[in-house]
Structure 1
Amino acid sequence: MKEKRLQHLEDYIHSVGTVSLDELCEYFNVSKNTVRRDVNQILEKGTIQKVYGGVTSVTPALIPFENRDHTNHPEKVKIGQQAAALVEDQDLIFIDSGTTTRNMIEFLPSSQQLTILTNSLDVINAAVAFENITLITIGNRYKRKTKSFVSIDDLHILDKYNISKAFMAATGVSIAHGLTNSDILEYEIKKRIAEKAQTLYLLADASKFGKSTQLTYAPLHEVDVLITSGALSEEYHSFCREHRIELYICK
């Protein structure tokens, strides 16, 4: 329980940036002595530092989308390859916008008949070359920053699709705040897709963990399959075991 509380506390500090000890006491409903002890343990990791009356996150800032494709690229390709191997013939899948999810397309077998639902320009451009793929696009406004189509006038239009698998991206992933992103228009689509899909896959390289942004589109425990790279903390391994999340780590 203590390890879980420490992880939640650290995730919360990273999500808000700077926070007072009094605010931590109120948010987690614990005494100031408990908060001080927990904070002192986290300080030893070097991911936070003390400021007057509280603490602040010193975790590197989240990388802007336009620069993410150059970050951890080999890991993202491996994650995309593993995700593609989990797609089956006749699947109707959603592929989210993101610099990791778009790597799936080149690894999808041409022998499979697939339907891909997406709002990602990169996925659309890659998928049009494959005759075995039926492509359905969503979103009626183009967002250049993330190369995605956002905003749907009636989100219930997504309900008519029987999505067998949703391959999702996230700007940040944490136990406390789940799968997060920072755009309200993308959030609405992600949230509805995550609720609708029969199986929810999260594709996220190891650098995304322990971070969060303003909007949670799904709690972490709702993920069915987690595909990542590198080593995760024991806290995340325990969480996956507890919630029966299938874990793939691409070396």
Structure 2
Amino acid sequence: MKSKRIHEIENYINEKKAASIDELSEFFNVSINTIRRDITILANMNKVKKVYGGIETIENTISQAVDYSKRNISHFEEKKHIASVAAKHIKANDVIYIDTGTTTVHILDYVNTEIPLTIISNSLDIINKASLFKNVSLFIIGEKFKYRTRSFIGIDSNTLIEKFNIDKAFMAATGIDIKNGLSNAELEENIIKKLIVSRSKYTCALVDHTKIGESTLLTFMECEELDSLITNKLPNQAFIDFFKEHNINIEI
């Protein structure tokens, strides 16, 4: 029975690419502790990779997440312009979250270093830039550094994020699609993104035009949850109509 279930879990993950512990527990109708033991066996067999809150396929780990340095080169000037527009939304004494990403990383380059701010981030580059601000309160999310994305991941179950009251969240995404919402390919970062969105009064997505109409493995928010989209080209009419219907601002 146990070996059969483990095999079924492996098949489930190969199909879904990633799953949380709660999802697996519910689907296979066994306890959380049983699922933890099962996925430990699969991880030891190198069949899956254990991540915070769940597991994902080894193949997904290799193929879905593109190295940060490679992504940062793509559409570099467009990303800087998008970030400069986002920076105009930041006012004195704001509590802001700046997401890990090759567009969001440029936001602080366009903000006055004298301005009083509270900055929350899991991005190494954002943290380094924020440390140069003279009047900043800086909160760092994540317990483990991930080189490929230059971000900190892994959060405690009683995470401080759940207590934050965030004025504005500037979010990165690998894709944005009307049906699948805003998505990314990293399960551990997806968990952080979801929590941040749930604690933010105003959520702004920064994406270049190549990501519009695309979706990747994991959705972290629905499009209708957005307050603003900043991009470098006007999206197609379906997006324009959808955003107008849901009072979402588009800034080009």
**Do both proteins adopt the same fold according to a TM-score greater than 0.5, normalized to the shorter chain?**
yes
Q: CA deviation at 1:111?
A: 4.0
Q: CA deviation at 1:132?
A: 2.1
Q: Which amino acid aligns with 1:112?
A: I
SS, match of residue 134 in structure 2: coil
Of structures 1 and 2, the one scoring higher in RCO (CA 8 A, sep 6+) is 1
Per-residue CA shift, 1:114-154, capped at 9, x if unaligned? 01000000101111111122211010011111000011012
Quick check: 1:162 aligned with 2:173? no
Give the TM-score normalised by the residue count of structure 1: 0.73
Match of 1:39 in 2: none
Match of 1:189 in 2: 192
Provide the rounded CA distance (Å) in 2 between the counterparts of 1:181 and 1:68: 13
Match of 2:245 in 1: 242
Q: CA deviation at 1:74?
A: 0.8
Contact in 1 for aligned 2:68/2:150 (Cα 8 Å) = no
Q: Which runs of 5+ in 2 are unaligned?
A: 1-15, 17-63
Name the stretch that deviates more: 124-133 or 240-249.
124-133
Match of 1:83 in 2: 86
Per-residue CA shift, 1:138-180, capped at 9, x if unaligned? 1001111100001101254212211000000001111110000
Per-residue CA shift, 1:215-247, capped at 9, x if unaligned? 000001100011111131111111110110011
Provide the rounded CA distance (Å) in 1 between the counterparts of 2:128 and 2:160: 23
Provide the rounded CA distance (Å) in 1 between the counterparts of 2:147 and 2:140: 16
In structure 2, which of residues 129, 132, 137 is the aligned counterpart of residue 126 of structure 1? 129
Alignment RMSD, CA only? 1.6
Q: How does 1:190-205 map to 2 (within 5 A)?
A: 190-205=193-208
In structure 2, which of residues 149, 152, 156 is the aligned counterpart of residue 153 of structure 1? 156
Match of 1:226 in 2: 229
Per-residue CA shift, 1:188-238, capped at 9, x if unaligned? 000010111000110101111111111000001100011111131111111
Contact in 2 for aligned 1:205/1:230 (Cα 8 Å) = yes
| Equivalent pairs, count | 190
Per-residue CA shift, 1:85-114, capped at 9, x if unaligned? 001110000000000001001111234210
Name the stretch that deviates more: 84-93 or 127-136.
127-136
Contact in 1 for aligned 2:114/2:133 (Cα 8 Å) = no
SS, match of residue 187 in structure 1: helix
Contact in 2 for aligned 1:155/1:189 (Cα 8 Å) = no
C-alpha spacing 1:241/1:99, structure 2 compared with 1 (3 Å) = same
Moved over 4 A (4+): 61-64
Provide the rounded CA distance (Å) in 2 between the counterparts of 1:89 and 1:185: 31
Contact in 2 for aligned 1:155/1:192 (Cα 8 Å) = no
Give the TM-score normalised by the residue count of structure 2: 0.72
Q: Which runs of 5+ in 1 are unaligned?
A: 1-15, 17-60
Percent identity over paired residues? 38
In structure 2, which of residues 205, 209, 219 is the aligned counterpart of residue 206 of structure 1? 209
Provide the rounded CA distance (Å) in 1 between the counterparts of 2:247 and 2:227: 7
Provide the rounded CA distance (Å) in 2 between the counterparts of 1:207 and 1:63: 15
Match of 1:174 in 2: 177
